Amino acid sequence: MKPLSRASAPAKIILFGEHFVVYDRPAVVMAIERRAYVTAKPRADNRIIVVKSREMGASGAFTPSGEYQPIEGGLEFEPKFKPIYIITKRILSLSGEETLGLEIEVDSSIPIAAGLGSSAAVAVASASAISSLLEMRLSRDEIFRLAFEAERFVHVNPSGVDPAVSTYGGILLYRRGEGIRRLDVEAEIPIIVGDTGVKRVTGEMVSRVSDLLMRYPTVVESIMDAGENIAKLGVEALKSGDMRTLGELMNMNHALLCALGVSNDMIERLISAARRAGALGAKLTGAGGGGCIIALPEKSNVQGITEAIRNAGGEVFVTAKAFEGVRIEE
């Protein structure tokens, strides 16, 4: 066993297909250069699993029976730390080291509950750091499966797209029934991310779409069919480097998400500001209900769009494609 192991995994944006991907439609997802870092090390007090988050300013311990005991902060942090506990217990079981105590520390630059895959990036980095600490040679596929299993606790019915892109990096075409296909995209794709500052729960947004589908099946199925066609055209635009078409398709995808009721006033405010400032396209990314929007700029207009989103009330940063997925940082 190593004395310490540190791993990281990237955040993501969804260019096309959020919500539709839950129902076996394709999604186009891009890893971005914001990362979650996880450090794992053994503890002397066997079987106690301690999880700390610098960003949240919270920590807590899980007993052998799975009971959560707050150290810093209250019981409200248990749901955020439970996926890490689930991953840790699973890896300890696979390694035969079930009586080992561990300390897991999270240090992330990814906004929480903002549609950028924060929980998935932390789950993927945790699986990598813990398995590396125990000198287990897990494949990326195995890391993905462990993170996906833990994501079920967070999001109830996750598509799997978040842990997939955090694991593999780059730009992926993901379909639940077919799995992952890496897209060979040479074009530079600058992306401006605007955070509404409105926190939301992915599971609630997924349930909202599910309810709508049950009430209006033919209408919602038609919306999802349109979303699938947009995603397919988006892949072609990415491969050819046609940024103008990519932006137009992003705008169309956002209109479909509005029809599903997952946008809100603040999302629309930031998107309108980005488009008025000259963005080729702008849309919400992730589950909606808050969180982040993404805007596709022309290279000459990055600053103008950034300032427009900030003036509209959004926290904003400029990012680019992360070629590398999960990695060991030692």
What DSSP string runs through 293-310? EEEE--GGGHHHHHHHHH
DSSP states of 177-196: TTEEEE----S---EEEEE-
User: Taking CA 244 as the corner, what is the angle to CA 239 and CA 247, rounded to the nearest 5 degrees?
Assistant: 90
Distance between CA atoms of residues 144 and 179, nearest Å: 12
What local confidence, expressed as pLDDT, does residue 191 receive?
96
b/e burial code for range 93-116 (CB count within 10 A of at least 16 → b): eebebeebbbbbbbbbebbebbbb
Q: Are 28 and 15 in contact (CB under 8 A)?
A: yes
Eight-class DSSP state of 135: T
What local confidence, expressed as pLDDT, does residue 179 receive?
82
Instruction: Give the contacts of 98 (CB within 8 A, at least 6 positions apart).
Output: 47, 89, 92
What local confidence, expressed as pLDDT, does residue 187 receive?
86
What local confidence, expressed as pLDDT, does residue 156 receive?
63
Does the annotation count 162 as an active-site position?
yes
Active-site residue, from 162, 184, 225, 265: 162
Domains of the chain and CATH, by start: 5-183 (3.30.230.10), 191-319 (3.30.70.890)
What local confidence, expressed as pLDDT, does residue 240 receive?
95
DSSP states of 15-79: EE-TTGGGGT--EEEEEEEEEEEEEEEEESSTT-EEEEETTTTEEEEE-TT--EEEEES-GGGHH
What local confidence, expressed as pLDDT, does residue 229 receive?
98
Beta bridge partners of 103: 41, 50
Token readout for 123 is: 């789950």
Eight-class DSSP state of 321: B
pLDDT tens, per residue, the chain with 330 residues: 899 999 999 999 999 999 999 899 999 999 999 999 999 999 988 779 999 998 899 999 999 888 999 999 999 999 999 999 999 999 999 998 877 899 999 999 998 878 898 999 999 999 999 999 999 989 999 999 999 988 877 766 667 888 999 999 999 999 988 888 999 998 889 999 999 999 877 778 989 999 999 999 999 999 999 999 999 999 999 999 999 999 999 999 999 999 999 999 999 999 999 999 999 999 999 989 999 999 999 989 999 999 999 999 999 999 999 999 999 997
Nearest in space to 270 (alpha carbons), one of 279, 260, 261, 259? 279
SS3 state at 170:
coil
Residue 146 has φ and ψ, to the nearest 5°, of -65, -45
Cβ-based burial of 215 (10 A; exposed 0-12, middle 13-18, buried ≥19): exposed
SS3 state at 323:
coil
Q: Are 329 and 6 in contact (CB under 8 A)?
A: yes
Q: Which helix (H) or strand (E) holds 107?
A: strand 101-108
Instruction: Give Cα 85 distance to the centre of its chain.
Output: 19
